[in-house]
Amino acid sequence: MRIAVAVLASLLLIQSAFAADPTSPETSLSTDSPLLAPWTGPYGGLPAFDKVNSDHFEPALLTAMGTLLDEIDAITQTKGKATFENTIEAYENSGRQLGRVQSVYGVHLSTLSTPELRALQQRMAPKQAELRDQIIQNPELFARIEAVYNGKKFDKLDPVQQRLTWRAYNRFVRAGASLDDDAKTRLSEINQELASVYTTFGQNLMADEETWIVLTSEEELGGLSDSLVGNMAADAAAKGLEGQWIVSNTRSSVDPFLTQSTQRALREKVWRAFINRGDNGDAHDNNANITVILALRAERAQLLGYATHAHWRLEDAMAKTPENAMALLEAVWTPAVARVVEEVADQQALANSEEADITIAPWDYRFYQEKVRKARYDVDQDEIKPYMQLEKLREGMFWVAGELYNLQFALVDDVPVAHPDIRVWEVTNADDSHVGLWFFDPYARTGKRSGAWMNSYRSQERFRGNTTTIVSNNSNFVKGAEGTVVLISSDDARTLFHEFGHALHGLLSSVTYPSQSGTNVARDYVEFPSQLNEHWLLTPEVLSKFAVHVETGEAIPNELVEKIQAASKFNQGFQTVEYLSSALMDMKMHLAGSTPIDADAFERDTLTTLGMPSELVMRHRTPQFAHVFSGDGYSAGYYSYLWADTLTADAAEAFHETGSMYDDTVAQALRQYVLSVGDTVDPAEAFRAFRGRDVQIDALMRDRGFPVPE
């Protein structure tokens, strides 16, 4: 996910976060389950990963779901008028036990999935959807929330309390709390059906991503770097294929292969396997699931009184309307396509000069673009990659966080983890006060979903004691043989910094209520801090200190840094069109309303209408578009990466205007107005407080090397 924040979304409509508070009294049933007990131990309590097995999940989920319903009943049966304290705060405090169970369950589903867990997920998803609806459609609970929101004492609440109340009221209304009984019944049926199909979609995709292409001869390794060959051999050995090499069907394996391999037929084979995930006409084909999902979402939106699913989703986002989001996407589309035309022409000219006798195809783009980069800027990924050591870059992320926010990171070994590859750091302020824990799970393995993401195991809060956060970053780098250094591409390095930006958003949170903490913000705002954090990767300070050669230990030469900086806007046509085509497809599919959609045909026809260059494909084709079809999280919301990047580019220029990306005044303003406040203020107001004005698109266009609109 360039994600993407991976939120445990099965209860998102009830509460956007649950924080474990070991001191809070609960109404849970007495049990010895390690999942149901309050977290104990150092750092404010820890999830008992070392005591959990798959048999614990179903009974714990069912028990905790029952506990939550008991807590809701206690709120509705409270005597006297509804108040902020006995209704809004009581609702905020509910679901803590279920939050703890969901946290550990989510880690296992996303990183340690097994056939048994997938079967459980299929059983539980509709029940979790039913639970959401039981709470949202509880008339007594909604009446109390509405009474507080519309009550005379609302104006006497402080701004944070008012926003918490508004958010609860708005969430219930948007989820159907005001519907009549028949509509509520149908809405609940839709939500349960969607939960089931989302699970099927995700599991189909994971099944295709657990495949690989085997290489059996050294001839097939032509053009590949020693580090990539070593990783492929180690991956093969781990799967019992000694003496062979495999290309796993995940982006972290496929992209470097397509960039380096001189074997064109193999490039095509690897490319087709990757872009056809979920689209092979077999038991794991996702096209029929997309049709069902879109139809159910359209029906749900109409039940809720919205023209389309897109209008429903964007109502409380920064963009507010699909029209506003589309205007931004379309403003960037034309110059981005024009840049692709230029990039392809450069590639074709180079291929012609080499007498390759080919026409540039999608499986050639990365390979020849890298050749063009080398010819134009005298730099290529093979020259850069020996300096891109995973662990050194991790140290670089820590250093940047220290320079900007005075954070310190210390490796700890007294924290249980779900897998031996996972390591944990304690995060502290400069005065050694505890901030939180950062879990790092960097390597691909069977049962782990693809991509990269951030999780919040526990949200920061001051509502029920001073509770610190626990966050994790998860990636899918190929783990080399024992004792070897893992090298990553510059694109993967950028993703590493991106996901760490999400983690910093969680770690730097300083709010009272857990549902307002950290990354619990509007979808088109949540990517702003993460995308901004990417900007520190290519600063000379990071490159000179942490981009050191894997063999010599020498810092990356200044002349190579200058070349990297000069090439920073290179390939922006490809990167932008690859992304924009997915974002436009997402929005157009969800603006189609109740019109039945054949996913393959809609994708093909829409791309033709858009004028999609034939030399590349969408970053996420629809049958593998997990952001959009494995849950509601980014549905009609993939545009948010560009929306957030508009904020990002503008914010980065605030640093550039001072002459330093490490300016302390700007960094502290970023922390004060953006990173620490979560959802306690409207995101537009937060950005305005940081920048001193509303966002402007000019910086985005400059950042990508496109013409600035007059």
Catalytic residues: 499
Rounded distance, CA 645 to CA 529, Å? 9
Neighbour-count burial of 610, counting CB atoms closer than 10 A to its CB (0-12 exposed, 13-18 middle, 19+ buried): middle
- CA angle 113/114/118 to nearest 5° reads 80
Q: Which amino acid is at 494?
A: R
What does residue 198 show for φ and ψ, rounded to 5 degrees? -55, -45
Long-range contacts of 79-82, Cβ-Cβ distance < 8 Å, separation of 24 or more: 81/147, 82/143, 82/144, 82/145, 82/147, 82/148, 82/151
- Yes or no: say if 556 and 547 are a contact pair by the CB < 8 Å rule: yes
Contacts within 8 Å (CB) and 24+ apart, 154-161: 157/84, 159/680, 159/681, 160/511, 160/512, 160/513, 160/516, 160/680, 161/84, 161/88
**Two tokens at 373?**
């980069």
Residue (of 129, 166, 108) closest to 12 by Cα position = 129
461 - beta bridge partners? 467
Residues with Cβ within 8 Å of 136's Cβ and at least 6 positions away in sequence, in order, are 13, 14, 142, 171, 172, 175, 176, 177
- The tokens describing 384, both together, are 């850069």
Residue 335 to residue 350: CA distance in whole angstroms = 23
Per the structure block, which two tokens stand in for 385? 């990659």
- Bridge partner list, 287: none
Per-position DSSP letters for 281-309, written without gaps between them: SSTT--HHHHHHHHHHHHHHHHHTT-SSH
Residue of 5, 164, 103 whose CA lies nearest to 523: 5
Which residues, at least 6 apart from 680, have a Cβ–Cβ distance to it below 8 Å? 159, 160, 163, 511, 516
**CA separation, residue 371 to residues 351, 375, 379, 567, 569 (Å):** 9, 6, 9, 13, 16
Beta-strand ranges (E) seen in 166-278 are 212-215, 245-248
Percent of the chain that is helix, strand, coil (3-state, to 5) = 55, 5, 35
Mapped onto helix, strand or coil, the DSSP state of residue 655 is helix
CA 34 to chain centre: 28
**Three-state SS across 248-259?**
ECCHHHHHHHHH
DSSP character at residue 487 = B
